Structure 1
Amino acid sequence: MSSTRSTRSGSYRAMSSTEVELLYAKSKVYLHPTTSKKDNIPGFLTLSRPANGTNLDVLLSFTPENQLSAEERSIYENVDVEDIDLDLQALNSIGFAAFSAEASSAAKTAVTRIIPRPSSSSLSGYSFSAALSFIYSIQVRNPSAGYWYGSLVINTQDGEKFPIVFFHDDESPSSNSSQRLKNRRFDPFDENGQLYWGGKHFMMILEKFVNVQKSTVASSVYLINPESNDLRNFAPFKVKDVPEPNKKSIEPFKLPDLTNVNKFIATAKWKVLETVATITARTKSQVMDIIEDNAPLSVKQIMNKPEVQKIGDEFDSARVYLAKWAQQVKEEAEESQRKNLLNNDIYNKINNELGSNELLTDEEISQTSRRKEINQQEWESFFDYSGRLCLTADEVKSRIFHGGLEDSVRKEAWLFLLGIYPWDSSTEERILLRKSYETAYEELKLRWIEDDDKRATEFWKDQKHRIEKDVNRTDRQLPIFQNPKKSTSNAESGDNATRESSPETPDEEELDDEFDISNIRNPHLYIMREILLTYNEHNLNLGYVQGMTDLLSPLYVTFQDESLTFWAFTKFMQRMERNFVRDQSGMKLQMSTLNKLLQFMLPELYKHLDKCNSIDLFFFFRMLLVLFKRELEWPQVLRLWEILWTDCYSSQFHLFFALAILSDNERIIMQNLKQFDEVLKYMNDLSMTLHLDPLLIRSELLFLKFKRMIDIIDRENSIKKLNSDVYMRRSSSASNSSVKSNEMIEVSDDLRQLLSRELVIQKEVPRPEGVGGG
């Protein structure tokens, strides 16, 4: 096998399987086999890449000086004295040659960096070599007065320790040059306040190739490309140190007393809601007119609450939803209470099964801990030289679920998470896919651009107006969506000055946007408009619905590419279309499922919300509609979405995140809130105050608890069925056997569906003639 490297001036000779490209070398690194200085063995600590190698294939090697020929030693020494500020990041994909300033010089340098593959045997004159994928950890021992030379202890995956390498920086030309340079810059220390030395520099270079994380137990130990289990093994359990708000997530179940449960809801309230429920799909103004004319005073008061109006003003469909939701909710809620509030016996069994003092084991809780986000080096380590995954897609998704992504990785990783790129594709295949996506988007866009008749219809004009209105008010606080400041010329001085806006003197352009919505001056907002108009052509049945701009905006900011953003949006909308269907059945089902989940998991809180007339959970409408976009800070939204897209546990994990918000606030709600408007205001005021990582941990714990509860119930049902079958064989009484079979514990299909990772897809039906958009 061979590999040909490319440069700006062309290509140079191929590397064979017995050769490598020398990326980094540190001279005057010693082994100390005995306590005698005369036995010290000087050599080079190097990083080198084999043909077609990825970052994980890079070799970490030690080669004694006496094993090198004169020519080889010259190459090692030349690499050693290269500029220490050389950006080795470029080496990750294109090699040293393509990074050099001049092509001719680059080609020459690249050829001289090709060397024989270092020996991998420590028995051969103390040399050793291993791929970075085989390195488990490195202990960094800083220089000290008592033991002057700093050293590295390298541990492999199978537990083998290589000989300790010592950095004799006083003899190393590159270390001396680096230290002089730092001294001239009056910056002799690193970020930790320690003096520069060769081992620290080596670790800094290593981070350019693989994920390096410091152990939380031993500060001198660095884990190399660690997996979740590696981090857990090097981190103590933190169950007893969980902050106070999080402790509720690991409390045992409280046994609900169901013997004196009040009626599910007062009859009067349901009559009020039934009055509203006579309304069908009408506009917001029509809904409010009917409420004003026909509804009792109590429902008028609810609909006029500022907290309800706020949600209704943001999303027109919210008020329509509330009316439709009430139509059958009484019967469904009474039925769900019978099915999802378990009796005391099963709660006792669950408590005994899970333990009286803890919900889950230390190990299970430890597995829910959050990890650092995936950086560029770790992301690249997931792929081989052809760009195909080395891991399974589920392994990558689990890593994303527990850590998220750095901004530098997000643009590429989201294309996999959203299904734009298949997980088993190669780099070459993805390049072809990208071109096909661009062509398909342009063809789709031309359908409405070139169709004058379509653009003249009232429906199309209405859709365009809705899109432009929402685009103009979407995330305008972000710099990318702000209009450029006006530059005014000073007539007297001739100088140009930029007028700064303030709350007292807002930009005229921003005010104009509210009245002249078709004149979109910001180029990024304009592209978002084009994408949404084209999506209308792609999904004729759905059209544009308020809230879609909230889903599109983070995608566009991440990709900043029109065609990629469009196809990412179409994939995202496959998940989210059920939120926007005209009859609101998708939202109704999710709210109903969340209601059942609340009964099943937090029965005491459910009963308290019942007393507060708040079991409709209306405050979650906005959260679920746009996937918590309005509840979290911008970086948290990006992190939450990529975690949800993994479907690591469930394709409906967002409902457990919603349940986590309730669980996190359970004590406050039960102790302090007594009325519907108090609960609604409190939940609405949580916007922009939520802390993502604690809620993600709580969500995962709640899911694991839920899964264990279902397992216990299924086991109990199996035992009861077995006993019932035995009883039926022994008994001649059919009526008695029927009684036995009715003792099975029921879990609704909606709740069982939460254990599935398969996407819940609901498409809009064809639009009836004469029905408008939105």
Structure 2
Amino acid sequence: MSRVLSQSEVELLYAKSKTYLHPTSAKKDNVPGYLTLSRGKNGTNLDILLSFTPETQLSVEEVKIYNAVDLEDLALDLEAISLSSKNNTNTNTNTNTNSKDRKISNTRIIPKPSVSLLSGYSFSVPLSYLYSIQVRKPSLGFWFGSIVINTKDGEKLPIVFFHDDESPSSKSRHKLSNKRFDPFDESGNMYWGGQEFIEVLEKFINIEKSTVTSSVYLINPDSHDLRNFAPLNIKDNSNNNNNNDSIKKIEPINVPDIGKLFASAKWKVLETVATISAKTKNQVMNIIEENAPLTIKQIMNKPEVQRIGDEFDSARIYLAKWAQQVKEEAEESQRKNMLHNEIYNKINRELGSSEILTNEEISQTSRRHPINKQEWDSFFDYSGRLILTVDEVKSRIFHGGLDNEIRKEAWLFLLGVYDWNTSKEEREAYKKSYETAYDELKLKWVNDEDKRSTEFWKDQKHRIEKDVNRTDRNLPIFKNPSRKHSGSNANANGNSRESSPETPDEDELDDEFDISNIRNPHLYNIREILLTYNEFNENLGYVQGMTDLISPLYVTFQDESLTFWAFVKFMTRMERNFVRDQSGMKIQMNTLNKLLQFMLPNLFKHLEKCESIDLFFFFRMLLVWFKRELEWDQVLQLWEILWTDYYSSQFHLFFALSVLSDNERIIIQNLRKFDEVLKYMNDLSLKLHIDALLIRSELLFLKFKRMIDIIDRENSLKSINSEVYGTSTTTTKDEIEISSEIRGLLSKEIVIQKEGPRPEGVGGG
């Protein structure tokens, strides 16, 4: 039996019997009751009521319900609570889920507890009203453990004591633990009712233990709360869960053996010269290299660069085409972007220190734990609409990232597939329209035999299939299924091959010899998406490296339509990396160069001596946002942080700067030549400490912004003085110039650069 709740009823989620209030020191005055969690109609997790109800206020029938819930097996009960939570608040609930799990049983329906804080020794407050809970374990002299509940307005509710020796559920738990000869929990503590209550509470809301007092749990804390409850220097790691991870001592990075060949260079990112045959490509390469400046030829003749160039064509082209210009522009802009010692000293005095990292700054920018399901759900109301500001959510994502469980939903917001101001119902409608639009777009090439027979189409298809076949094949999702002979004419999805008539059946060709024979269903879907993107963005076409951008999206969504539109949104900002003339990459490399001069002048001067100011080693990193330099989970974390545009839409350049800053001392003290710098930087692949670099990136940006503010103020004062004292205002030699590229790093607006129409006869890539 089940029914819909009325406004005066709630669903009893959790009940703990034989909890007491001790209004006086006399035992006879103790008030026995039930500590409960309950949820009303259309309630979110934050609307759940935490209540204490004395036994004397309950009817006989209500007592039966409370006792039944109290005695339910805790493990099973928590699972049911978790299901109930998802069914009430999850904006991605599958409509095919067993409907019986979503129904509210009559055995859990009770009258809504009184919301009065103090009425006959009862109280009831929503979880959104809580600030902290102090847990006091049972000990000698304090036979009963207790919890102290603090509200956001500073009010302290009556202390709740757990009389475990009377509680049937606690006694049952103790009995079971004794049978198992394991009276301790995972933390090595003896079981008691208060700890059980905290475990249940964590199913619904975000709870973080204070790093100052281990007995205090903060409820849905923001960064300000955490800073108030965290010391600058944490010596005891035992009571520290995730907040201290980012300020642990970082392992020193050893200088690699210069004689080693860097393994991370074996990757071709981008083919910028559109060709059909290798012969044509080599002819173009020879022409470029023959016309390269002498200094560039000398660099390209170095064995380290040749090794990269042999397998990394775009790097050779970039180096030949742009490196000399980058060097010349860097030298020309050096006076503009490198500040005089006088202004550096002034900046350091105002900022209080010449050091990049201070304990106080680390405390303010320390990394938080990723947003979990409970915390994410608390951002939305019962209709699925955001109840926080977008900036608040982005700040939280920027400083902690996301649990993998909620990425599928959160990424659609971050990438702009869904608007932040939509409801759950509206997003469902958007999803259906996206599916329809994708199907229509895909049919344009599926049904166009003439298009598929053109040389351009065949070339693009070959490029896509070649790269798809070697995309993240180490991941289980992209491993080929075991080969089983089948007489059916089904594709990798189990459907007919009507969507892709040019793809051979599995039995016709061996996939070791024909890259078109994609047997893995997920790789097959990625191929379909990229071919459809060719239809969507005909000017750009497919360019090598796009598979590295789409792979994390597909693994997260595992949905062809959603992945396509997420990729479209991602490519809006990333298209400039793949334009044919490479001007987008050149601009970013130049901007990073100017940022290096501005922020780390000593390192820039040293790299100049090493003939490395073109920052060639960052080409691959910037092209696909450090996809090859970080572990898989770190890539996902970095990308979602960059998508927030919290400080800047080009924050990836500050992350790159943080890599240089983190290795500045080693580079200056140990490296002297171009090839040594190149080897060292490439050898950092998969060895980067992302949390420490994210902290450093944020500190660098904050320092950068304050430097700009100080310089603007100095220029303003000089301008005022010139007017007051009649000095000529036409001269600017005393003013400190800030280039437009540098100032543009303060903007949160996404930089968009679209590819122009493809010239006739030019191939893809």
- Give the counterpart of 1:443 among 440, 445, 448: 440
- Cα root mean square deviation, aligned: 2.8
Task: Identify the residue that residue 152 of structure 2 maps to in structure 1.
Answer: 157
Map of 2:175 onto structure 1: 180
Q: How does 1:333-344 map to 2 (within 5 A)?
A: 333-344=330-341
- Where do 1:362-377 residues align within 5 Å? 363-377=360-374
Q: Does 1:615 pair with 2:613?
A: yes
Q: Distance in 2 between matches of 1:600 and 1:297?
A: 29
Match of 2:257 in 1: none
Q: CA deviation at 1:416?
A: 0.5
For residue 746 of structure 1, what is the amino acid of its counterpart?
E
Q: Following TM superposition, by how much is the alpha carbon of 1:321 offset from its aligned partner in structure 2, in angstroms?
A: 1.7
TM-score (norm 1): 0.86
CA contact (8 A) 2:296 2:320 kept: no
Q: Which of 717, 723, 726 is matched with 2:724 structurally?
A: 726
Q: Deviations over 1:601-632 (max 9, x none)?
A: 00010000001000000000000001000000
Aligned partner of 1:738 in structure 2 is: 730
| Cα deviation, residue 374, structure 1 | 0.4
Shift of 1:185: 4.0
Partners of 2:453 and 2:762 lie apart in 1 by 17
Amino acid at match of 2:282: S
User: 1:4-43 counterparts in 2 under 5 A?
Assistant: 12-16=3-7, 18-43=8-33
Contact 2:357–2:696 (8 Å) recurs in 1: no
Partner of 1:401: 398
Change (3 A) 1:295 1:512: farther
- Give the C-alpha shift of residue 280 in structure 1: 8.8
Matched, 1:118 2:110: no
Q: Which residue of 2 aligns with 1:195?
A: 190
Match of 1:90 among 79, 83, 91: 83
> 1:601-640 alignment to 2 at 5 Å?
601-640=599-638
Give matches, 1:562-573, under 5 Å: 562-573=560-571
Q: Does 1:753 align with 2:753?
A: no
Q: Is the 8 A contact 1:213 1:222 kept in 2?
A: yes
Aligned to 2:500: none
Of the three residues 17, 28, 50, the one matched with 1:60 is 50
> Which position in structure 2 is the counterpart of 1:522?
520
Compared CA separation, residues 244 and 180, structure 1 to 2 (3 A) = closer
2: CA distance between counterparts of 1:78 and 1:181?
Answer: 18
Preserved CA contact (<8 Å) 2:274 2:763: no
- 1:51 corresponds to which residue? 41
Q: Does 1:318 align with 2:315?
A: yes
Matched residue, 1:77: 67
For 2:85 and 2:291, locate their aligned partners in 1 and report how far apart those are by CA, in whole Å: 70
Amino acid at match of 1:603: P
CA distance in structure 2 between the partners assigned to 1:514 and 1:587 by the alignment: 35
Long gaps (5+) in structure 1 = 1-8, 249-278, 489-508
1:313 deviates by 4.9
- Identify the structure with bigger relative contact order (alpha carbons < 8 Å, sequence gap 6+): 2
Aligned partners of 1:363 and 1:757: how far apart in 2? 26
Query: Matched residue of 1:515: which SS?
Result: coil
Counterpart of 1:165, as a letter, is: V
Comparing 126-135 and 574-583, the one that deviates more: 126-135
Equivalence for 1:479: 476
Distance 2:749 2:378 in 1: 28
Q: 1:336 to 1:294 in 2, by over 3 A?
A: closer
1:693 corresponds to: 691
In the superposition, relative to structure 1, how do residues 104 and 525 fare at CA in structure 2: closer, same or farther (>3 Å)? Answer: closer
Structure 1 residue 309: Cα displacement: 4.1
3-state SS of 2:554 partner: helix
Aligned-partner Cα distance in 2 for 1:308–1:191: 53
8 Å contact from structure 2 (residues 327, 613) kept in 1: no
- For 2:749 and 2:477, locate their aligned partners in 1 and report how far apart those are by CA, in whole Å: 35
**Could you tell me how far apart the structure 1 residues matched to 2:643 and 2:208 are?**
26
Structure 1 residue 450: Cα displacement: 0.3
Amino acid at match of 2:598: F
For 1:499-578, list aligned pairs within 5 A. 513=511, 515-578=513-576
Select which of 287, 290, 304 maps to 1:290. 287
* 2:415–2:566 Cα contact (<8 Å) kept: yes
Moved more, 61-70 or 284-293: 284-293
Could you say what secondary structure the match of 2:165 adopts?
Answer: coil
Residues 351/771 of structure 1: CA separation in 2 closer, same or farther (3 Å cut): same
The Cα shift of 1:348 comes to: 2.1
In the alignment, is the contact (CA less than 8 A) between 2:293 and 2:324 conserved in 1? no
| Secondary structure of the corresponding residue to residue 154 of structure 1 | strand
Q: Return closer, same or farther for 1:592/1:752 CA change in 2, 3 Å cut-off.
A: same
- Give deviations 1:49-107, integer Å, cap 9, x for gaps: 122110001010101111112222222122212232221101114369x99x9989996
Deviation string 1:104-130 (CA, Å, 9 cap, x unpaired) is 9996x6234222221233432111111
Q: Structure 1 residues 701, 294: CA separation in 2 closer, same or farther (over 3 Å shift)?
A: closer
Secondary structure of 2:61 counterpart: helix
Shift of 1:292: 6.3
**Aligned partner (choices 198, 213, 231) of residue 218 of structure 1:** 213
Letter in 1 for 2:415: L
Give the count of matched residue pairs: 704
- State the match for 1:232 in structure 2: 227
Q: For 1:127, which of 103, 122, 146 is the aligned residue?
A: 122
Matches for 1:317-466 after TM superposition, within 5 Å: 317-326=314-323, 328-356=325-353, 363-466=360-463
Aligned-partner residue type, residue 175 of structure 2: R
Structure 2: distance between partners of 1:364 and 1:313: 44
Q: CA deviation at 1:176?
A: 2.0
Query: Which of 746, 765, 772 is matched with 2:756 structurally?
Result: 765
Distance in 2, Cα, partners of 1:758 & 1:214: 37
**Which of 698, 703, 707 is equivalent to 1:705?**
703
Deviation at 1:198, TM superposition (A): 1.4
Structure 2 residue matching 1:624: 3-state secondary structure: helix
Give the stretch that moved more between structures: 627-636 or 116-125: 116-125
Q: Matches of 1:104 and 1:708 in 2, distance apart?
A: 57
Q: Secondary structure at the match of 1:151?
A: strand
Separation of aligned partners in 1, 2:98 and 2:357? 61
* Alignment match of 1:668 (pick from 666, 669, 673): 666
Compared with structure 1, are the counterparts of its residues 116 and 307 closer, same or farther at alpha carbon in structure 2 (3 Å cutoff)? farther
Q: SS of the residue aligned with 2:603?
A: helix
Alignment partner, residue 169 of structure 1? 164
Letter in 2 for 1:60: L
2:11 aligned counterpart, secondary structure? strand
1:647 equivalent in structure 2 = 645
Q: Aligned pair in 2 of structure 1 residues 82, 235: CA closer, same or farther (>3 Å)? A: same
> For the residues of structure 2 that align with 1:106 and 1:560, how far apart are their CA atoms?
26
Once the two structures are overlaid, the 10-residue window that deviates more, 315-324 or 301-310, is: 301-310
The alpha carbon displacement at 1:322 in A equals 1.7
**TM-score normalised according to structure 2 size:** 0.87
Q: Which amino acid aligns with 1:758?
A: E
Q: Deviations over 1:533-573 (max 9, x none)?
A: 00000100000000000001011111111111111111110
Q: Which residues in structure 2 correspond to 1:96-107 (within 5 Å)?
A: none
Q: Does the C-alpha gap of structure 1 residues 62 and 520 become closer, same or farther in structure 2, counting only changes over 3 Å?
A: same
SS of residue matched to 1:328:
helix
CA distance in 1: counterparts of 2:389 and 2:443, whole angstroms: 39
Q: Distance in 2 between matches of 1:321 and 1:358?
A: 35
Of the three residues 648, 653, 656, the one matched with 2:654 is 656
- Do 1:608 and 1:670's aligned partners in 2 also have CA atoms closer than 8 Å? yes
Give the equivalent residue in structure 2 for 1:255. none
Secondary structure of the equivalent of 1:48?
strand
Q: Residues 737, 143 of structure 1: CA spacing in aligned structure 2 closer, same or farther, 3 A cutoff?
A: closer
SS at structure 2 position matched to 1:709:
helix
